[in-house]
Amino acid sequence: RAAEATKDVETEKQRAAEATKVAEAEKQKAAEATKAVETEKAAA
């Protein structure tokens, strides 16, 4: 049973890591979009 609990904790950690990775990717996309807008403004 302890092994099961440990496995669950590992799975949760894995999921959290995945979610963090996704959040980072989203932040990156947002930053790039902002940069693109800035570039557009500068070009205008």
Which positions ≥6 away from 30 have C-beta within 8 Å?
Answer: none
d(CA 7, CA 38): 46
pLDDT tens by residue, 1-44: 899 999 999 999 999 999 999 999 999 999 999 999 999 999 98
Instruction: Please work out, in degrees rounded to the nearest 5, the angle formed at the alpha carbon of residue 24 by the alpha carbons of 22 and 30.
Output: 105
Instruction: Give pTM, 2 decimals.
Output: 0.68
